[in-house]
Amino acid sequence: MDKIILWSVWILTAILLLVFIKRDNFINAQLSFMFMQIPCWLFGTLVAEGKLIEYPIGFLNNVYKASFTFEFFVFPSISAIFNVYFPTHKSWFIKTVYTLSFPAAMTIVEVLLEKNTDIITYIRWSWYWSFITILITLLISYWYYLWFFRKIRAISKASS
């Protein structure tokens, strides 16, 4: 059953990308996706190797102790959607709710998976660490996204 859940997560995430990432936002989403794989790999490896979380069921478990599905596909995909749709021109309150809703939803799903499957097991970890690390990682990704595209605009402006 756990493998079916993992395959379903891959399919659902791919559908979310197809629905939410339009052709005109593809490069923005691609940058976010690729950048997010770096901190995901780093933090995921540190957490798994530090025996804070265990992933008994997953893809590539014999070569990668962290969750390949989450670190290399799901979280980068969610980050791409988060960055592309960030409510830049909205109020501080809307930005805060938007920013907190992503880690909240992801943490709720993680806790449900931890309680009801063998996909993830908390060893020396708690839901609030997931919330905090997801929030910080999303913000790092968004800041990089802003920095990168500001640089591109500045270079384009300077060369024209």
Q: pLDDT value at position 154? A: 82
| Mean of pLDDT values over 57-75 | 89
| Mean of pLDDT values over 11-18 | 97
Domain boundaries along the sequence of the chain: 2-152
Nearest to 45 by CA among 59, 29, 66: 66
pLDDT in tens, 16-51: 999 999 999 999 999 999 999 999 999 999 999 999
Decide if pLDDT at 160 tops 80: no
Nearest to 5 by CA among 122, 113, 105, 102: 113
Is residue 9 within 8 A of residue 130, CB to CB? The reply is: no
How many whole angstroms separate alpha carbon 65 and alpha carbon 54? 8
**pLDDT interval class at 158 (50, 70, 90):** confident
| Mean of pLDDT values over 52-70 | 88
**pLDDT interval class at 159 (50, 70, 90):** confident
**pLDDT interval class at 137 (50, 70, 90):** very high
